[in-house]
Amino acid sequence: MGPEYTGRQDLNLDPRVRRTRKLLQDALASLLKRKDFDKISVGEIAAESTLNRATFYDHYPDKFALLQCLVAAQFQDLIARRNIRFDGCDRALQNIAMGVCYYLSETLKSGTESSRQAGTPMDTAIVSVVRRMLLEGFALHPPGPAVSVELLSSAIAWAIYGAAREWALHPNRISALKISEKIAAILQPMLP
């Protein structure tokens, strides 16, 4: 199976591997500006990256794994730039929701077929990053033995993403700050 993006750059990787993965992710990002994901082939990604298909498959099992790594890297970069962390404080949910809102407002193409479809690889990639952030926060501040942190993290991650996605698809929306406050207020009772 291909690499799972952990939200951190693996500095132990050979620099050539990091460079190759970056070329492939950049190629996909470039193609996504011109085409919907479902219309992009592995061959096109390889050609855009100036690499061959065999090299692509040396690093990723399919284009979905590459997309998940790309989206996760972009989202994690945005989170890092804005210094957003889930650290158990009261504003953590709001900060994470705001990060998702900012990311979606920058990446979703309103009115396209892919923006209307739920359950896309982009959805999964963002939820995976948010879930991992929540799990890291719960590792520092455990909710208690009666609560499954995996289940709680998944439920909150999907709820944040779903609400932020709904917000991002509306042209006359309130600010990211205001919607993130509302999302946090709805989800706060889920925290132990």
User: Predicted confidence band at 123 (pLDDT cuts at 50, 70, 90)?
Assistant: confident
Q: Are residues 88 and 167 in the same domain?
A: yes
Tell me how many domains the chain contains.
2
- pLDDT higher at 72 or 29: 29
CATH of the domain at 35: 1.10.10
pLDDT at residue 89 tops 90:
no
CA distances from 52 to 20, 47, 64, 164 (A): 11, 7, 17, 37
pLDDT value at position 179?
Answer: 97
pLDDT value at position 119?
Answer: 55
User: Predicted confidence band at 184 (pLDDT cuts at 50, 70, 90)?
Assistant: very high
> Domain limits at 41?
15-67
pTM above 0.85?
no
Mean pLDDT confidence for 141-154: 87
Q: Are residues 115 and 185 in the same domain?
A: yes
Q: Are residues 106 and 170 in the same domain?
A: yes
Mean pLDDT confidence for 129-151: 86
Q: Are residues 105 and 180 in the same domain?
A: yes
Q: Are residues 51 and 95 in the same domain?
A: no
- pLDDT 10s digits, 90-115: 688 898 999 999 989 887 755 544 44
Q: Are residues 126 and 87 in the same domain?
A: yes
d(CA 82, CA 62): 31
Asked, for residue 179, whether it belongs to a domain, the answer is yes
Q: Are residues 25 and 88 in the same domain?
A: no
pLDDT value at position 22?
Answer: 95
Show contacts of 75-81: CB within 8 Å, 24+ apart: 75/99, 75/100, 75/103, 75/125, 75/126, 75/129, 76/5, 76/7, 76/8, 76/129, 78/102, 78/103, 78/106, 79/129, 79/133
Average model confidence (pLDDT) across the chain = 84
Asked, for residue 163, whether it belongs to a domain, the answer is yes
Contact between 108 and 157 (Cβ < 8 Å): no
Is the backbone of residue 28 left (phi > 0), alpha (psi -120 to 50) or beta?
A: alpha
